[in-house]
Amino acid sequence: MELGTFVFSHRGALAERAAAQDDVMGLVNLFSLRPLEKREVALFTLDLCNNRVDRHFSRFPEEELEKINEMTPGRPLLERHDMTGSLPRGTFFRSRLHREGDTLSVRPEVYVLRTEENRDFILNIEGGIYRETSISFSFRKPECSICGKDLRRCAHVPGREYGDALCHFIMREVVEVVEGSVVSAGSQGTGFVSQERAFPGAPLEALTLARDDLHRPIELWRSGWALE
């Protein structure tokens, strides 16, 4: 049976706000159709994702963070109002890997045009109302941390302890970074979708459903057969 690709959202934090410098504008202008000036943009750094086990019992290995780091420039930054509404507000123009102790995180920088329309958005970030970020990405393989198999093909349960090891899944084979979003702190503005179905719930529910699909016994007795 072919296993599908997951599209997940992952929460992070806004790291800092930066003043536009001349050398940075050269990078910004790689993405604009006409050269922008410093006064026309607001720049922010986002802490998008890292290598720690998160509250959904998932984790990125370092090699996948390196991929995400390379895929992020050029992707849009959205404003996430609610489950459905998202407006594009900015573009990621550069990304770097940031290491602090054992934590490796992806820290892209984004520019937002200082238009009349974006004024409240920028004020909300600068004023600390929008403090959290969310990255949407797709990946192919949720690898079980206990046995190394695709989690849909084993029976281990993320969040449960086996001996002294906490079961979680390692997100491998990242395919695409879809977008980054800025959301107000504590909001539940993120969901994620699988190939065919949208799930408003947590990633674990999607995995459980995918696992159920895979383990559902094949019906051998079909109505037509009785007549043959």
Which helix (H) or strand (E) covers residue 50, if one does? strand 49-50
Residue in 216, 203, 194, 197 with CA at minimum distance from that of residue 168: 203
Q: Could you tell me which stretch among 38-46, 142-150, 183-191, 193-201 binds Zn ion (CB under 5 A)?
A: 142-150
113 binds Zn ion (CB under 5 A): no
Name which of residues 33 to 92 contact Zn ion (CB under 5 A).
Answer: none
Contact residues for 153 (Cβ-Cβ < 8 A; gap 6+): 214
Least distance between Zn ion and beta carbon 144 (Å): 3
Q: Is the CB of residue 203 less than 8 Å from the CB of residue 59?
A: no
Residue in 67, 80, 197, 61 with CA at minimum distance from that of residue 130: 80
Question: Residue from 87, 154, 175, 202 that binds Zn ion (CB under 5 A)?
Answer: 154
Contact residues for 116 (Cβ-Cβ < 8 A; gap 6+): none
Q: Which is nearer to Zn ion, 98 or 156 (CB)?
A: 156
**Could you give the string, one character per residue 156-195, with x where binding to Zn ion holds by CB under 5 A and - elsewhere?**
x---------------------------------------
Q: Could you tell me which stretch among 68-76, 109-117, 139-147, 219-227 binds Zn ion (CB under 5 A)?
A: 139-147
Question: Residue from 14, 43, 135, 144 that binds Zn ion (CB under 5 A)?
Answer: 144
Question: Residue from 48, 78, 106, 146 that binds Zn ion (CB under 5 A)?
Answer: 146
Amino acid at 205: E
Least distance between Zn ion and beta carbon 143 (Å): 9
207 binds Zn ion (CB under 5 A): no
Instruction: Give the 3-state secondary structure of residue 175.
Output: strand
97 binds Zn ion (CB under 5 A): no
CA distances from 171 to 24, 142, 153, 184, 213 (A): 32, 5, 15, 26, 20
Residues that bind Zn ion (CB under 5 A): 144, 146-147, 154, 156
